[in-house]
Chain A
Amino acid sequence: KAGVTQTPRYLIKTRGQQVTLSCSPISGHRSVSWYQQTPGQGLQFLFEYFSETQRNKGNFPGRFSGRQFSNSRSEMNVSTLELGDSALYLCASSPPLRNTEAFFGQGTRLTVV
């Protein structure tokens, strides 16, 4: 079974630009969640989607948004990039059960310059 696939693996963007990250979950998983990892703040939850509906959202500004498609693939978007948005963005997919384990992709390393 293929794992969680995130594209691209690396990105370099300029302040003020926007970026879109993509995540393909494990086949059969309908829940997709996103996390931001930075050295200072650690791993922080961004949002979670199930069947194209956002069920939970972390404490991030509105510049961070996401969506899920009917095939469970998900994208997250960050608009008006700031230097502080430089981070490893991790996507995870889960089986359709509440509070079950999450399987993570390799992440997208975003650098904002």
Chain B
Amino acid sequence: AQSVTQPDIHITVSEGASLELRCNYSYGATPYLFWYVQSPGQGLQLLLKYFSGDTLVQGIKGFEAEFKRSQSSFNLRKPSVHWSDAAEYFCAGANDYKLSFGAGTTVTVRA
């Protein structure tokens, strides 16, 4: 079955430190992959997307993600975290007009 997996349930990072969230996918030849962020009680906001081409994609809020076919990964990174980045992050893959989401990674930012 086509799916995405987020191995980390919760990550704590210090403000100003770098952040990397892991996502592994199980999709066919051309995966359509996304990262979303959700603040408490809110909807999902699209951070970035990968369809094809350049394996390093830039998103909003200073986030980037790297697609690695050899590792079936699509990890999200941010060089310097701000307190406002505390939220839940979801990796998702698209197929047949639907998104399949990972379980999410909750990011806590400590001062």
Contact = CB atoms under 8 A, between A and B. Distances in A.
Range of interface residues on chain A? 20 to 34
A55 B42 contact: no
Interface in B37-63: 41-46, 49, 51
B90 interface: yes
A107 B43 contact: yes
A103 B97 contact: no
A42 B94 CA distance: 16
Secondary structure of the A contact surface, majority rule: strand
B98 A48 contact: yes
A43 B34 contact: no
Interface in A27-47: 31, 33, 35, 42-43, 45
B90 A43 contact: yes
Interface in B1-58: 32, 34, 36, 41-46, 49, 51
Contacts of B42: 106-107
Contact of A58 (B34, B44, B94, B98): B98
Interface residues of B, number: 23
Of A99, A104, A106, A107, chain B has the most CB atoms within 10 Å of the CB of: A99
A28 B38 CA distance: 24
Nearest to B30: A99
A98 interface: yes
A104 B97 contact: no
A49 to B, nearest CB: 9
Interface of A: 4, 31, 33, 35, 42-43, 45, 48, 50, 55-56, 58, 90, 92, 98-107, 109
